[in-house]
Structure 1
Amino acid sequence: MSTAAEEISALLVSRFGVAPDAVRPEAPLHRLRMDSLALEELRLLIEDRLEVDLEDVALTSRDSVGQLVAAVEAQCGRAAR
């Protein structure tokens, strides 16, 4: 599991009360009870923890955990350049 995946999983479990076994790459965010407000809060927490700018990343509750992780990893890759 990547650092981004580990951080996102930890945030979903600790801050949003998601069951650890529910955090799977194919799980849609809406199934984890992540609405638009929760997604915005999660985005800000990820930015803070991973020191990455996610302002250009458009996510909805229909996206999966795996899509979120991929988007964060892509932004982390850009920041490293």
Structure 2
Amino acid sequence: MNAAEVVKSLLVQRFGIPSAHLNAETPLRSLRLDSLALEELRVLLEEQLDIDLEEVSLTPRNTVGQLVAAVDGVAA
């Protein structure tokens, strides 16, 4: 699975977000992901992809696309 697939899968399965609401331009805040949910998502991504996202700064203002790009940048 690539980063985009893992992010989408986690958002759908763990956070109950309908996949129809997920596209690269979707702000994380519109998915009702607060800072605590983003931290949980960070930990899940680190575990599933065996990467370290500690240096990645994400806020609810970021988009799904920015999240995927940040994960791709670390995983590369």
TM-score, length basis structure 1: 0.92
TM-score, length basis structure 2: 0.98
* Aligned residue number for residue 60 of structure 2: 61
Count residues in correspondence.
76
Larger Rg: 1 or 2? 1
Distance 1:16 1:23 in 2: 12
Distance 1:45 1:23 in 2: 18
Distance 1:46 1:28 in 2: 18
Q: Gaps spanning 5+ residues in structure 2: where? A: none
Identical amino acids, percent of aligned pairs: 54
* Aligned residue number for residue 41 of structure 1: 40
Which structure has greater helix proportion? 1
Q: Gaps spanning 5+ residues in structure 1: where? A: none
Where do 4+ consecutive residues of structure 1 move more than 3 Å? none
Aligned-residue Cα RMSD (Å) equals 0.9
